[in-house]
């Protein structure tokens, strides 16, 4: 029992430190240029922990990933921001044009929004796990999202439950708002990655 309590305490302290690093390095890049590299670095650290590599210094591991992925992460940030802005403009346009033909455009737009949001959940874990090209990462994230619907539902449920708890206990957000939700996403995705890799290995043998 004492051993498990110790492990829980260690995880809590690590997640708190990781969240503070995420906030600090997001601000270091003035948020605009810091958020995406800081988020990638956070997922990189979480992946190393899930792989059992929890003896590495947190700051050095985080800083190394932040520097190495700064440009590529901001590349995804620019792409996501452009797509988000285009969707936002379309939503505004459709809100002021309520004709029958415009209403028909709601279905494909909302479908695109849903699948884009779900793909985004897998994007950062896929990026830190696979060594693929820029657009191949997006394609891989989309495909994994499509073939793992149960894991996706579990992920969304976990995020929603965490958001509710942090809404009623706002102080938790400062220490765990990013890192704990990222852990839920990374752990779910990592399980999906392992499942897919095991299936591929069994087919090749």
Cβ partners under 8 Å of residue 90, min gap 6 = 105, 109
Please, which pLDDT band fits residue 37 given cuts at 50, 70 and 90? very high
Mean pLDDT of the chain: 89
Please, which pLDDT band fits residue 93 given cuts at 50, 70 and 90? confident
Q: Percent of the chain beyond pLDDT 70? A: 94
Mean pLDDT value across residues 133-142 = 93
Q: What is the predicted pLDDT for the residue at 171?
A: 87
Domain boundaries, the chain: 2-204
Predicted TM-score (pTM) of the model is 0.90
How far apart CA 111 and CA 117 sit, in angstroms, is: 10
* Residue 41 vs residues 61, 90, 125, 186: alpha-carbon distances, Å: 8, 32, 10, 12
The alpha carbons of the chain give a radius of gyration, in whole angstroms, of 19
Residue 100 confidence (pLDDT) above 80: no
Backbone angle region of 97, left / alpha / beta, with phi > 0 → left and psi within -120 to 50 → alpha: beta
Q: How many CA atoms lie within 13 A of 162 on its CB side?
A: 19
For 101, the enclosing helix (H) or strand (E) is helix 100-129
How far apart CA 19 and CA 173 sit, in angstroms, is: 9
Residue 108 confidence (pLDDT) above 70: yes
């Amino acid at each position: 029992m004492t051993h498990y309590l110790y492990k829980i305490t260690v995880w809590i302290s690590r997640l708190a430190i990781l969240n503070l690093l995420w906030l600090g390095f997001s601000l270091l890049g003035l948020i605009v240029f810091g958020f995406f590299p800081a988020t990638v670095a956070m997922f990189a650290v979480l992946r190393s922990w899930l792989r059992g590599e929890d003896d590495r210094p947190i700051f050095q591991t985080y800083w190394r990933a932040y520097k190495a992925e700064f440009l590529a992460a901001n590349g995804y940030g620019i792409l996501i921001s452009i797509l988000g802005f285009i969707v936002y403009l379309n939503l505004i346009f459709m809100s002021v044009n309520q004709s029958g033909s415009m209403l028909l455009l709601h279905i494909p737009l909302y479908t695109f929004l849903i699948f884009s949001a779900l793909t985004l959940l897998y994007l950062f874990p896929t990026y830190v796990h696979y060594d693929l090209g820029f657009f191949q990462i997006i394609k891989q994230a989309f495909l994994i999202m499509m073939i793992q619907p149960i894991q996706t539902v579990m992920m969304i449920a976990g995020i929603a439950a965490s958001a509710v708890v942090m809404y009623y206990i706002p102080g938790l957000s400062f220490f765990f708002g990013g890192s704990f939700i990222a852990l839920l996403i990374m752990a779910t995705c990592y399980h999906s990655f392992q499942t897919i890799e095991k299936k591929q290995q069994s087919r090749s043998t």
